[in-house]
Amino acid sequence: MTLRVVKVGTSLLRGDNGSSTSAVIGWLADALAASLTQGDRTVLVSSGAVGLGCRRLGLSHRPDNVVALQAAAAVGQGHLMGLYEEAMARHGQPVAQVLLTRSDLADRRSYRTASATLHQLLDWGVLPVVNENDTVSSAELRFGDNDTLSALVAAAVEADELILLTDVDRLYTADPRTDANAHPITDVHHPAELARLQDGAGDGGRWGTGGMTTKLAAARIATASGITVHLADGRHPEVLEKLLSGGRGGTVFHPHPEPLGNRKSWLAHALRPQGDLRLDNGACNALEQRGASLLLVGITAVEGHFAANQPIRLLAADGREVARGLSSWSSEALQRALTQARATASGSPVVVHRDALVLTTPTIRPQDT
């Protein structure tokens, strides 16, 4: 039995190749139902609510303000779920709507509740259809894209595979639609290789600022959590059918050789750091070489405003991110402590416990601050 998360985006659901949205959802349902019949489990992450809402309202252009977009999503989400309900009902397969916000996954208790709910639905043989709760998501608490959401959901349910369906057949060294010298990339094995690809995607070109950048970020999150990621062409039904039968995508991102556990993955990827702590060299070495907790004596500066138990970044003197974690102190309390006489290392209090800390690696990068 394989547990997969499949993500389908707005561009595919629009049916830009001449198919209607209902037709695209129809063949998605056919492939997913066949896989479920074989005993596999799938969580579907689906975009499309805003686009369907605009169409239902007869809007000629996508709104450019947040409130109108949220209202359009409210109209479109019901229609989207209706299409999935109808398509899966033809196979006798129930579906469930699961709407999430970033704050749902940033809170540890809510994160575990979402994971447990998804697993219960899977145990019942239900297809969960996940989307961002656009109607209530504020700008600062949005995932920003469903690629990121799909990777976080995959980590939360501890999926075996994440399938990202897109409108190209695989990852290339450049945009193959505009660059005749673009070469296909079939496998990405090492975290450092993935990091280089992310750096190259951020060069400002269309290939970098479009959907591929977010898919690379999703691959980073998922592979760091031990999940295999397939980037595949979603325009052709047979591609998804092959993937759900154990085949491979056009580009396969292989899991990290030392994946993070569930809690460490949550610390690294689901949280938005609220501030930074600057550390001296001794503290950096203690964290990176000995796996120690961060002590007050190793902090040289406090940046930003945060409460106790909120996420923060731990930075070396040169600005390099060393780790992320939950501070047991507020920024105000730390500022006061730093102005007082410093304690010795042996008697210095713990600011970030090692169990609430995750080291930064080539797969954990400060892209969400």
Quickly state the pLDDT bin for 342 (edges 50, 70, 90): low
Contacts of 267 (CB under 8 A, 6+ apart): 311, 324, 325, 326, 356, 357, 358
Residue 6 C-alpha from the chain's centroid: 12
pLDDT, mean over the chain = 87
Query: How many other C-beta atoms can be found within 10 angstroms of the C-beta atom of residue 192?
Result: 11
Contacts of 336 (CB under 8 A, 6+ apart): none
CA gap 305, 315 in Å, rounded: 16
Residue that wins the pLDDT comparison between 43 and 250: 43
CA gap 164, 327 in Å, rounded: 34
The residue-averaged pLDDT of 254-277 equals 91
Quickly state the pLDDT bin for 109 (edges 50, 70, 90): very high
Residue 252 is predicted with a pLDDT of 96
Quickly state the pLDDT bin for 367 (edges 50, 70, 90): very low
Say what the pTM is.
0.88
Residue 144 is predicted with a pLDDT of 65
Asked if 366 contacts 195 with a C-beta cutoff of 8 angstroms, the reply is no
Query: How many other C-beta atoms can be found within 10 angstroms of the C-beta atom of residue 221?
Result: 28
Is residue 365 over pLDDT 70? no
The residue-averaged pLDDT of 102-125 equals 93
Contacts of 289 (CB under 8 A, 6+ apart): none
CA gap 283, 273 in Å, rounded: 19
Quickly state the pLDDT bin for 66 (edges 50, 70, 90): confident
Q: Dmax over Cα atoms in the chain, in whole Å?
A: 71
The residue-averaged pLDDT of 233-258 equals 91
The residue-averaged pLDDT of 264-284 equals 93
Residue 229 is predicted with a pLDDT of 97
Residue 287 C-alpha from the chain's centroid: 26
Quickly state the pLDDT bin for 368 (edges 50, 70, 90): very low
Residue 354 is predicted with a pLDDT of 94
Domain boundaries, the chain: 3-260, 271-359
Is residue 174 over pLDDT 50? yes
Quickly state the pLDDT bin for 204 (edges 50, 70, 90): very low
Is residue 70 over pLDDT 50? yes
The residue-averaged pLDDT of 229-245 equals 92
Asked if 129 contacts 81 with a C-beta cutoff of 8 angstroms, the reply is yes
Beta strands in the chain (DSSP E): 3-8, 41-46, 95-100, 127-132, 161-166, 171-172, 184-185, 187-188, 228-233, 251-253, 275-279, 294-295, 299-304, 311-315, 321-326, 350-352, 357-359
Q: What is the CATH topology of the domain spanning 271-359?
A: 2.30.130
The residue-averaged pLDDT of 135-151 equals 74
Residue 364 is predicted with a pLDDT of 52
Residue 134 is predicted with a pLDDT of 80
Q: Which of 21-35, 119-133, 353-367 has the lowest mean pLDDT?
A: 353-367
Domain at 3-260, CATH from 3.30.70.360, 3.40.1160.10, 3.20.20.80, 3.30.300.30: 3.40.1160.10
Residue that wins the pLDDT comparison between 176 and 225: 225
Residue 302 is predicted with a pLDDT of 96
Strand partners, 184: 172
Residue 210 is predicted with a pLDDT of 42
Residue 365: its H or E element? none
Q: What are phi and psi of 158, to 5 degrees?
A: 55, 55
CA gap 306, 326 in Å, rounded: 10
Is residue 350 over pLDDT 60? yes
Is residue 203 over pLDDT 90? no
Helices (H), 237-317: 237-244, 262-265, 281-290
Residue 369 is predicted with a pLDDT of 40
Is residue 356 over pLDDT 80? yes
